[in-house]
Structure 1
């Protein structure tokens, strides 16, 4: 993973994901997020969660539409505004983030190896708090 900062879109994988979200038709954008969040949330503890940076970026996009969520303003995220996202993405994003803070999670391992594990986890905790505090259905 090439990363230039600790932000949710500040790495090659997440930036590419932002482009993939932009490339999707408006009515398919939520499905792009759902697919990556589901893939990570469904990863068993003994399996390695590979799509982690994409799932974090997807969770940030979902959280941006929640009360108290921060807008995604980075130039590495999607350029076009997202349509309103379904509320059921919120608990799914929480499950994905929970998976990414457990064993065998790609991003946690990478950030910990880079000496930024605590800082990365703090950003994940902030996202999770916004998502968990928002109505999910």
Structure 2
């Protein structure tokens, strides 16, 4: 174990703490897994850890799963689980700025339809699966033909 600055990510199946050394963290990463395996919690831990270490964090969160990081608190369940992992849970709110394409509930941003992309646009328009598929095809054709939407 090294004394280098690191982020606590969780623990392995055998109870060993898993840490990410800050000097080994690069600009890209992936957190993948099946539903219910802890991806959102892992991302929240990472975002909070990086922010606490003074690293600016930007999360593109279309579904809003990570928005809870902006609120102080926690639950007894989280505190209990954290204690079992040897992790101290502070329950403080992270400094958060929400960017809002509509400019109504957050920091307004300017973007073209092409910039928004089919996934976010489908979420904004509350499209069903079929409609989202058609929209994705339209974006693909526009990209292929060099057209701006």
TM-score range, shorter chain: 0.3 to 0.5
Point out the structure with max Rg over C-alpha.
2
TM-score where L is the length of structure 2: 0.31
Identify, as 1 or 2, the structure richer in helix: 1
Higher relative contact order (CA 8 A, sep 6+): 1
| Structure with higher strand content | 2
